[in-house]
Every structure is written in structure tokens, then in C-alpha cells.
Structure 1
Amino acid sequence: MKCDWGLASVPRIPLHKGLSLRQVLEENDLLAEFLKQHRTDIGSKYLPSSLAGGHQGLEPLANFLETEYFGTISIGTPPQEFTVVFDTGSSDFWVPSVFCNSHACKAHRRYDPYLSSTFQDTRKTLSIYYSDGRMQGFLGYDTLKISDLVATQQAFGLSTQELGGIFTHATFDGVLGLAYPSLSSSEATPVFDHMMKEGLVSQGLFSIYLSRRSNESVITFGAINDSHYTSPIHWMPVTQAMYWQIAVDEITVDGRVVACGGGCQAILDTGTSLIAGPSPDIVGIQYLIGATKSRNGLYQVDCRKLQRLPDVVFHIDGVKYPLTATTYTNENGGICYSGFEGDSGGQWILGVVFIREYYSIFDRAHQRVGLAKAV
């Protein structure tokens, strides 16, 4: 999960950067009440559970505050349901367990291995450290069901302790990492790798469509959904098989290079809400888009001026990916917040703000990423 969670085991890029709207609610002591009123029971009511044809799985994603997108999975026999973030910025898969008495666990659904006839214990411990907390537990195997895809003996973590306020306030139960195996804290086989090994998907790729609308976002395993994009798909190689990392040529505003002048690396991360980058570069971009820091430390933009603000353009593999002011800001209660955030350890992270605009295809079979203008 991410909202300023760092990755596991060794110092890495934070898992979930900058949930600015969440921070606003917390600042005004409104978050707890908001969560009570807006918890979403997601499921098949949003979208069909599968695409036509075999070896494809389509899972609808709920949209929380345009910062978190999560779907429903089930574990065990009979199945126990959980909501998880499908996170391209991490590789671990875990859910709360009945052995966890932390307040965060009690606020969410907890997996009970005694209720599953297919559970297997590995007797291996698991620790995942985040910048705002940590999860501790152990590894097990059980049947995982996502949409119509059923993976037997899938490794996953069962939390026994969850420390940190971010876990308590999370609107979902757990995290399902979709990055490379080299990023796994436990050395367990990540979910999509396991799907490919079991031949559950017809293609070794998955695609993600994130929408501002409440019931249209979806992750598709094993297929590309033509209805979610308009422009041609541009493919670029993964530059390091850990995160979904790609090379960026430069970032411009009004035709002037404002960051990545000599090229830089960036990761596509569905578990990060904003676009994060080195603080000096981000401060420069905030200035150019007219964003000013408010009392709560967040950058705000005058909503009345959005139509006059410049595009921020990411040049990737020779192709321009512009973001307009209406796409790089989030509006809440009449206030527009910048979708850029600094201090990411020097790494550019293209989070939800970017992925909402560009349908993203994660192709493990060919070690590449595809981007196309989202509908």
C-alpha cells in the first residue's frame, strides 16, 4: 500500500506517495467520518467479471478520492474476500490475519487459515517496512481468485502486527504487488509471475485503466482492452527489472526543459497517488504552474486559473505525454491541489495522476511498457 509507505526490507522508493486529499481530511479531523460514510463494497456491480475468451481476467477497481484504486480478491476454500491495491510499485502480496490484534487489523477483514481447507503454512516470517509504519507476519500458501482466474498454492503474507496510522485509515485491506520478483521482501513468487507459470493468462501482460469516474476503472490480466484508449500504443523497454522502470528523455513546460535535461529514470506506480520527483525539480514545476504552499504543507492552485495554466509534458522514448492543468490537479471542496510532490529519493515516480491520462500496459513477456492516451 502506499501513502508515503516505503518499500520493504531495504531503503527503496516509498510505496504510496502523497495522498494529498487524505492529508487534507486528516488535517481537519474529517477522515474518520468520511471513511464511515464512503466505504465502498466493490464487486461485480461495476463491470463484467471477465472479458470474452479464455485466459483473461478483468477486475473492476473502486475509486477512493481519486487517489486510491482497489479491487476485490478472495483467498482460500471456501473463499474469504478482501479488497487490495493492485500495486505496480511493489511485489509482496499480503492481507490482515486473525492472528493480528493491532487496531489497524481490527478495522479490516482478517484472513482465517483455520477456515480454509487449502491453506498451507510455510513457517517463514515476513517483515515489510514502510516510511509510515510496518507490517509483520508470516508466509502461507492458498488458492487465490481474481475475477475468473484461480491460482492454486499462491504465496501470500498473513499479518500478525500492523503498526502505523496509515494502516488504520486505509480503505482497503491489503496489497497485491505486481512488480518484479527481485523486489519481493520474502523471495516468494509474486502473483502475476505465478499466474504466468500456471498458464492462467493467454499473454504475459496486464493492463490498467484508471478513471476519475467512480465505476469505470479496471485492471485486465492477460489482455489489452481496446475500449480504454484512443491513440496508438507506444512501447518502451523496461530499463531495470525491479520496478516498472523506464527512461524519460526530458520534462518541459512551454517548450522549455524544466527537469530531466540529460534524461532520467522513472517508474510507473499505481500505488503512488501523485507524480513525485526530486525536490528542486518539483519546486520549479510548482512555480511554473502557479502552485503555492498552504498552511498544511500542500501545494494549491487557483481553480479559476486552470484553463490558463501551461501543460507539463513528459518526453518518453521520443513521444510527448502532456498533462493539462485539469489533469495534474485534484479538486476537493473548491480547492485545487497540485498533483506534483517532491522528495522521492531522487527517483521520478509516475503515479495515479499520470496513469489516469495514459492507459498503461505492463508486458512481462517482452520486458516493456506500453502507453496510450486513455479514453
Structure 2
Amino acid sequence: MRPKLLLFCALVCLIVVLTEGRQRKVNSRRSLGLRQQRLQRNVRHGSRLAARARPSRGNRLSAVNKRSRRSQRNRKTNANAKAKASKARASAAQSVSDGSGYTSLPLDFQQNFVRTTNNLRFEKSFLASRYGQSFATTTGKTTLRNTANMEYTCKMNIGTPNQSFTVLPDTGSSNIWVPGPKCTDKACKTHKRYHPGKSSTYIKDGKAFVITYGSGSVKGTLARDTVRVAGLAVTNQTFAMTKKEPGTTFTASNFDGILGLGFRSISVDNVKTLVQNMCSQNVISNCVFSICMKGGGSSKRGGVLVFGSTDTSAYTGSEAYTYTPVTKKGYWQFDLQGFYMGDTKVSGSTQAIVDSGTSLIAAPKSIFNKINKILGCTVTSSGECWMSCAKKVSDLTFVIGGKKFVLAGNKLKLKVRTTKGHTICISAVSDMGTNFWILGDAFIRHFCTVFDVTRNRIGFAASS
């Protein structure tokens, strides 16, 4: 039985093998037929396809090679980039871990931010301290009001919000003062007073302040606040709030207080001056200021006070100033090299100061007497020289810095009204008991003056 079973299995295996061989032959013939059909179709498409087919293979091989090389380069570049990034991350992590490194932080942007002039000035001040130089380009200008050729005043604000005052710019003193809230004198009652409680930038000082004038002493206390003049703001400026203003001088005046523009060396209590603070806070571009005054009785077109610039061309017609050095810091003092009346030399070299707070011109006693002798005027007990308004007067010549500055003789005569209602003329040159010249408003009205703090000099240019 077993031999029959084995024979049957062998027969089945033979049949399976023969069947698989026949099937492979059939599949082979079908594949060959398909290739022949494709070849015949290609041939029917003509030689153009065949011609293009031959180099196509080379192009494909070239493209394959290019792609391969490009792929290799990309893989290499990516590998290098990954290596660098990994190294940078590792370095950053190490730097942060040892406390001396860095990290990336987003920058905030404030919506609807409005830049102000204070922002700009702070930035300029910051840069100036960093690089050791000034980047400020700011200047300021304020008009002067002329009252009867006797007072030239301007506006000044103190505090936040502004408290406005009319002040007298005075190159013959160095302090700022205005009436305070506790002043009950008549002069204070008729003028504006500063109220520290109304200012958010007020800083209490409390130190006693006393300054003496010919008419009496002004007394008060020091304070600090923001002071604004000519469109310029100085922070933490020390000034005085008066408690006492005796006499009638300040009662009858058109100004509320004084804006001192002299040197710090004559400043009461050694207070830093407004111009000094303008320079140190980089409020002005150049550490200079200029004054031009105009005549014309009660004319409101009184002139100009400029901070940070010598541009007074509107008053001089040019920028050609003659400069002379300051001989002594305190007042704006210099050497007046000579003085003439007509062709007569009245004096040689003498000291002189420019004082915008004095209405007239004061001469030393000996020179004053010589001038009056030439004029033929009548000297009063108060140091004035009266004359007829019809009197002809020779021109006056001041020699400064080697240049002659001529003041027309008729400008020496000033009309005044007596207590009895009569109109007479007095000489603009008076005697104030000094041994030096004081060139006040009667001189500055005709010669614009530059006060140069940086170069320690004074400049003059004839007004047009």
C-alpha cells in the first residue's frame, strides 16, 4: 500500500512542475510582444523622437548626477549649519549657566507714544555725558518790552503748571527773585506772586536770602523749581521768594522780579545762575546770550534777548561783532580803551561794565566832570546834568577792542518831565559814585551786545 501512495505523490509533483513551466513561457511571450509593439509605435513617430531619445538619456544621467552632487552639498551644508547651531546653543547655555552670558528678549513697543521736547533734550544730555560733547542745538529768543526808555522787561515762567512773571533781565546781578506768597509789602501786593503750593515741581530750600539795592534790601527765602524763559526750560533752578520789598522803587516798577545774568561770583549765596544751568543741562547749543534794545519812548518793540546764539542780524544787519575779553568775572567787565567827545579825548583806558539793569550811562567822577564842562550843562545834586533840548551835542566815541563805536550826540539827550510838568533834557551820562564806567540801556540801545560765557568775552555790534 505504501509503494502505491509514494508513486501517486510523485506523479502529482511532476504535473505541478510541468504546469508552472508552461505558464512562464506564456508570460515571456506576452512581455516580448508588448516590447515589440512599443518599439513599432516609436518607429512610427519618426526620426525626430528617436534623435531626441538618444541625448535624452545623457541629459537624464547628467541631471541625475547634478541632483546627486547638489544633494550631497545640501547635506553637507545642513550638517555644518546644524553643527554651528548646536555649538551656539551649547555656548549660550554654558554662558548663561556661568552667569556671564546673554539671552534673546523681545523689545516692547509703546502704542500712541508722543515724543516731547523734554525727551529730546534728555537724550541729548545723555549722549553729551557719554561722548564728552554737546549735541544740543537749542536756542531761545524772547522779546523785550520798552517802557519810556527806562525799563526793558521780558516774560518768565516758574513752576508746573506755569506761573507767569514780568522780569527785568539784569547783567549787573546774578540772582533770580520774584514776590513770594508771604510778602505783604505794597510792592508785592501790586505784582504777581509765586505760590509754591500750586507747583508740582517745587522743591523747598528755606535758606534766608538778602540782596541790597540803593533803595533798600530785598529779603526772602530760597526755593527751587523749573524756570522757563525764551521757550527754554531749566529744572531745579534756585531762586528767591521775597518777603520784604521796602521803598517805592519796586512799587512803581513794571516788573515783578529780577532775572540776574551776571557771573556766579557775585551771586548771593553762591547760587548757580540761570545761564550756567542752561549750559550744564545742555538746554542751549552755545553758552552765550545776546541783548539788543530799541528806542522809541513807550514803544512795545523793545528789542530781543537771545539765549544760545549771537544771531541778532535783524537788529544789526550783520553778524560782525567786535569782541573784547572780560577782565574780571563778576560783572561783565572789560577795558574801555578810550572815550572822545567830538575830536576831544576825554579819557584813556578805564574799566567798564555792561549793565542791562541800569537805564543810563555812568562815568567815573573825573570823566563825568570833563563831559559836563564840554556840554555846558547844569549838574544837579542827584548827579544829573540838565540842558536845553535844543542844545547841539558832539558825537561820543567809545574805543573797544581797537574799534570806534560812535554814539550820535543827539542820542545823549534824554527828555524827562519835571514835577512841575515841564519837559527838559538831561545827559544820558550821569555820576553814580563809581570809579568805572557803567554802560546801561542808553548804550545798549545803539550797540547789540553778546555775552560769551565759554570764551569769557563781550562782543559789540552797531544796531541798524
Q: What TM-score, normalized by structure 1, do the two folds share?
A: 0.82
Query: 2:211 is aligned with what amino acid?
Result: I
What does the per-residue CA deviation read over 1:315-337, in whole Å, with 9 as the maximum and x for residues that have no partner? 11211112122222212454222
Query: 2:356 is aligned with what amino acid?
Result: T
How high is the sequence identity, in percent, across the aligned residues? 35
SS in 2 for 1:114: helix
Verify the 8 A CA contact 1:229 1:359 in the aligned structure 2. Answer: yes
The offset of 1:136, in angstroms, is 0.6
Aligned: 1:189 with 2:272 = yes
How far, CA to CA, are the matches of 1:322 and 1:95 in structure 2?
Answer: 37
SS in 2 for 1:141: strand
Verify the 8 A CA contact 1:133 1:165 in the aligned structure 2. Answer: no
2:455 maps to what in 1?
A: 366
| 2:331 maps to which of 243, 246, 253 | 243
How far, CA to CA, are the matches of 1:192 and 1:295 in structure 2?
Answer: 38
SS in 2 for 1:304: coil
Aligned: 1:327 with 2:327 = no
The offset of 1:368, in angstroms, is 0.6
The offset of 1:294, in angstroms, is 5.7
1:309 maps to what in 2?
A: 393
Superposed CA RMSD: 1.7
The offset of 1:362, in angstroms, is 0.5
By percentage of residues, which structure has more strand? 1
Q: What TM-score, normalized by structure 2, do the two folds share?
A: 0.66
What does the per-residue CA deviation read over 1:135-173, in whole Å, with 9 as the maximum and x for residues that have no partner? 111111001111210111111000011112212111100
The offset of 1:121, in angstroms, is 0.9
The offset of 1:60, in angstroms, is 0.8
SS in 1 for 2:305: strand
SS in 1 for 2:443: helix
How far, CA to CA, are the matches of 2:169 and 2:144 in structure 1?
Answer: 9
Verify the 8 A CA contact 2:324 2:458 in the aligned structure 1. Answer: yes
Verify the 8 A CA contact 2:384 2:431 in the aligned structure 1. Answer: no
Paired residues for 1:210-221 under 5 Å: 210-213=293-296, 214-216=299-301, 217-221=303-307
The offset of 1:78, in angstroms, is 1.1
How far, CA to CA, are the matches of 1:82 and 1:174 in structure 2?
Answer: 7
| 1:345 maps to which of 434, 438, 441 | 434
Alignment length, in residue pairs? Answer: 319
How far, CA to CA, are the matches of 1:147 and 1:219 in structure 2?
Answer: 8
Paired residues for 1:48-67 under 5 Å: 55-67=138-150
Shift in CA distance, 350/140, structure 1 to aligned 2, threshold 3 Å: same
Aligned: 1:117 with 2:189 = no
How far, CA to CA, are the matches of 1:303 and 1:71 in structure 2?
Answer: 31
How far, CA to CA, are the matches of 2:284 and 2:365 in structure 1?
Answer: 40
How far, CA to CA, are the matches of 1:297 and 1:179 in structure 2?
Answer: 26
Paired residues for 1:1-375 under 5 Å: 55-213=138-296, 214-216=299-301, 217-224=303-310, 225-230=312-317, 232-259=320-347, 261=348, 263-293=349-379, 298-305=384-391, 308-332=392-416, 334-375=423-464
Greater displacement, 291-300 / 314-323: 291-300
Larger Cα-atom Rg: 2
Query: 1:244 is aligned with what amino acid?
Result: W
Shift in CA distance, 168/205, structure 1 to aligned 2, threshold 3 Å: same
SS in 2 for 1:212: coil
Structure possessing the higher relative contact order (Cα contacts under 8 Å, 6 or more residues apart): 1
By percentage of residues, which structure has more helix? 2
The offset of 1:257, in angstroms, is 1.8
How far, CA to CA, are the matches of 1:130 and 1:349 in structure 2?
Answer: 16
The offset of 1:82, in angstroms, is 0.5
How far, CA to CA, are the matches of 1:285 and 1:201 in structure 2?
Answer: 42
How far, CA to CA, are the matches of 2:159 and 2:317 in structure 1?
Answer: 39
The offset of 1:227, in angstroms, is 1.5
Give the ranges of 4+ consecutive aligned residues of structure 1 lying more than 3 Å apart after TM superposition.
Answer: 293-298
Verify the 8 A CA contact 2:219 2:244 in the aligned structure 1. Answer: yes
How far, CA to CA, are the matches of 1:277 and 1:194 in structure 2?
Answer: 33
The offset of 1:95, in angstroms, is 0.3
What does the per-residue CA deviation read over 1:21-62, in whole Å, with 9 as the maximum and x for residues that have no partner? xxxxxxxxxxxxxxxxxxxxxxxxxxxxxxxx9511111111
How far, CA to CA, are the matches of 1:54 and 1:146 in structure 2?
Answer: 17
